[in-house]
Amino acid sequence: MAARFLLIPGRTSKQGQQVNVGKDEPAYEAIVTTLTMHADDMAELGVEAGASLRVRTETGEAVFRCQPGNIPRGLLFVPYGPPTCRLMGGDTDGTGMPTSKGWDVEVEPV
């Protein structure tokens, strides 16, 4: 069952600390592949903590491990990283930076 959400990628302090250790480390990979969503949204999708979810935009897709968190219903949060880059388009609207917040995404359990 697929559902629509609004994805808000961003940076976390834990992610910033891990960058000093290295982006090739498993701990960094775990950070940037973990998606946070409201527990009620997880229940409606029929998934539990640790489940894999495929996230699609009009430009690409990536798989994340989900966890419940203190986030409004209908929104998703994931730290920036290689998986979010696969979801970004190349259009910059003249700013030189692709749109990187507020993506309309389709989510389905893997």
pLDDT tens-digit map of 36-63: 999 999 999 999 999 999 999 989 999 9
Level-2 CATH architecture, domain 3-109: Beta Barrel (2.40)
pTM of the model: 0.85
Q: Give 57's contacts (C-beta < 8 A, 6+ positions apart).
A: 7, 87, 88, 89, 103, 104, 105
Q: State yes or no: pLDDT of 18 exceeds 70.
A: no
Examine the pLDDT at 103 and tell me if it is beyond 90: no
User: What number is the average pLDDT over the span 64-77?
Assistant: 97
Structure tokens at 105: 């995404």
Sequence spans of domains, the chain: 3-109
HEC per residue, 87-101: CCCCCCCCCCCCCCC
Instruction: pLDDT band for 66, please (50, 70, 90 cuts).
Output: very high
Lookup result for tokens 């290689």: 82
